[in-house]
Structure 1
Amino acid sequence: MKSLLSKSSRPIFLSTLVLFDVETTGLPSANFKPEITELCMLASSRFNLETATEEPRVENKLTLCFNPTRTISSIASKISGLNADNLFHQKDFDSSAVDLIQLFLNRLDSPVCLIAHNGLRFDFPLLKAQIMSVKGKNYNLNDCTNAPIICTDTLHLFREFASQLSGTNSDDSGFISTDDQSASPVPISHSSPKKLANTTTTTTTNKHSFHLADVYERVFGEKHKNAHSAEGDCRAMLRLIQYLGSPAIDWLQSHYQNFNSLAPMYTLPASNSSRLSLSSSIFPYQRTTQSYLDSRVDNTTSLFDDLQLE
């Protein structure tokens, strides 16, 4: 299968690395278009990751939770801990959410690179789909210099540095990448429903997987904390990149794609796209209530007009 991330002929000297992860309503299928229920962007200067041995003291972070317009699958809810109850008072993924993301990225020293685990198959196409649903297909994410945001994938990075991530019980030849087993966009890793896609692969073979949690435990000898959250997975990626040091960052800045050029996971018909974003003053739980109140206002106005005519 052709690689999704080949070496660029124009390496970019990155300034800011933004670890990115999402939790979702479920896995994509022909009849199910997932939505983001939580996202995290954890930004750090590349200089903090090249040589430091401790988690960077200086970082910038954006974490947002969303009340989706679609039902959260029971499996996704069990894994992420997000459900209709605890997301009840959260806003939907609307235009203001995209504005927040753009403003956050504009505050970072450029060039800026988004980094996600299995991001080229899942996180980035899904983010692109949701941005398009509320901002239109021509909307672009840019940095503070108006240059396009680039993105890359730690799944490919970890494959490249397999020998350094082998731990004590394996060697380079013992690694497989579960993304090689299918060309589908179904994801393969970490805490969201992405970890469900290939669960049988790692239990029926003695070869090691590249699931984020597996790589982390193999390297550090412990499970990473808060694996049920988007931020927890961002911190796991950050620590692994920091562990690999300068060679990993050199690899990342020569293996990337333009986020704005990526295809979305899905597109919605024009007739349906508007339902994915409510007015900035309306929360999802208020949809039914607001419709009722609007009808009451209309009826009251009509009654008042009738009285005026009498």
Structure 2
Amino acid sequence: METDKIETYVFMDLSCEYGNTRVLTGICLRAATRSDILIKTGSLPEPILSLRFEKLDLSSCTEIREFINQQKPPVCLIAHNGFRFDFIILKYHFDQLQFRLTDDVQCADSILAFYDIDKAINKEVKAQNAAKIRVQKLRCFKNNFLKQPTLNTKQVEMAPENTPITENSTSEFDYVYEEVSFRRQLVQLQEYYRRWVGSPQIVPHPPENDTEMLFRIANKFGKRFLDWVEQNHQSFNSVEGKLVEFGYE
């Protein structure tokens, strides 16, 4: 059976006690609709939940679930490196309290989404540049060929037999295109933001700021981002993994 398309994307970021993922100290959830992702207005979507606590309790868990349930379903949580950090940590703390989100809540990792989209765009740019270079070289060849002077019989006879008549090579059309080299590695959220969005400048790591960067990058990618999430989400309640001492944010 074909599942319904994701209608709401909840960008999520956690804060933990430094080096100790068993102590969750805060969470920010920023909800955006499909239209928010597709339409580039420069403004931020309104629904946001920001919580600070010394220890996650059932009251805070209920606030999180109620915020998510208020959004138009299906809902997908989006976190940067979520399957190694945010999703695993939140799921761990929920399990400790025997708490669950509704089964229809999905999740997807933006670090994988941005990498794949980044790579696809880079490949398209390379193909476009290669095509431009071929066209320019063809034009250069044709222009140089048409500009060659026609020699009369006397000029040909006067030319030494061992001196070929050639055009000097030129680098006029040997364009050098500076392209970003994407290595197969995890890339920090602020680096994606700097490269694809740039402004307004945002200080990384407070959860509110990181969720803003996540939304603005997703908004920049637009339909590419929506399509990627449709193919790469899973149920949040099915998330499994071990806690790590240090996440990659």
TM-score > 0.5 by shorter chain: yes
Residue 135 of structure 2 corresponds to residue 128 of structure 1: no
Contact 2:21 2:89 in 1 (8 A): no
Partner of 2:203: 226
Which of these residues, 232, 236, 244, is aligned with residue 255 of structure 1? 232
| Distance in 1 (alpha carbons) for counterparts of 2:35 and 2:200 | 26
CA distance in 2: counterparts of 1:148 and 1:127, whole angstroms: 17
CA gap of 1:94–1:264, structure 2 versus 1, over 3 A, is farther
Offset at 1:226?
3.4
Counterpart in 1 of 2:192?
A: 215
SS, match of residue 113 in structure 1:
strand
SS across alignment from 1:59: coil
After superposition, give the CA deviation of every residue in 1:183-241 in whole Å (9 maximum; x if it has no partner).
xxxxxxxxxxxxxxxxxxxxxxxxxxx21011111123458413131010000010000
* Aligned twin of 1:178: 185
For 2:21 and 2:79, the matched residues in 1 are separated by: 20
Check the 8 A contact 2:117/2:224 in 1, yes or no.
no
TM-aligned CA deviation for residue 248 of structure 1:
1.1
In structure 2, the residue matched to 1:149 is 105
Structure 1 residue corresponding to 2:212, chosen from 235, 238, 241: 235
After superposition, the C-alpha distances for 1:89-120 in whole angstroms (9 at most, x for unaligned) are xxx21111111111111111100000000001
TM-score of the two chains, using structure 1 as the length reference = 0.56
Q: Is this contact kept in 2: 1:158–1:165, CA < 8 A?
A: no
Question: Structure 1: how far apart are the matches of 2:34 and 2:184?
Answer: 26
State the AA in 2 paired with 1:229. P
How far the C-alpha of 1:122 sits from its partner, in A, is: 0.4
Equivalent residues in 2 for 1:1-310 (5 A)?
10=2, 12-27=4-19, 33-56=21-44, 58-67=45-54, 92-134=55-97, 136=98, 139-142=99-102, 147-163=103-119, 164=121, 170-171=179-180, 174-179=181-186, 210-221=187-198, 224-263=201-240, 265-266=242-243
Structure 1 residues 165 and 118: alpha-carbon distance in aligned structure 2, compared to 1, 3 A threshold: farther
Amino acid at match of 1:126: I
Q: Is the 8 A contact 1:149 1:258 kept in 2?
A: yes
Contact 1:151 1:259 (C-alpha < 8 Å) held by counterparts: yes
- In structure 1, stretches of 5+ residues that fail to align are 1-8, 68-91, 180-209, 267-310
Paired residues, number: 190
> How many angstroms apart in 2 are the aligned matches of 1:148 and 1:11?
10
1:35: Cα distance to partner? 2.0
What is the CA deviation profile of residues 44-85 of structure 1, one whole-angstrom value per residue up to 9, with x for unaligned ones? 1111111223224x4211101121xxxxxxxxxxxxxxxxxx
The residue type equivalent to 1:246 in the other structure is K
Aligned-residue identity in percent:
27
Query: TM-score under structure 2 normalisation?
Result: 0.69
| Structure with higher strand content | 2
Assess, with a 3 A threshold, how the Cα gap between structure 1 residues 264 and 130 changes in structure 2: closer, same or farther: farther
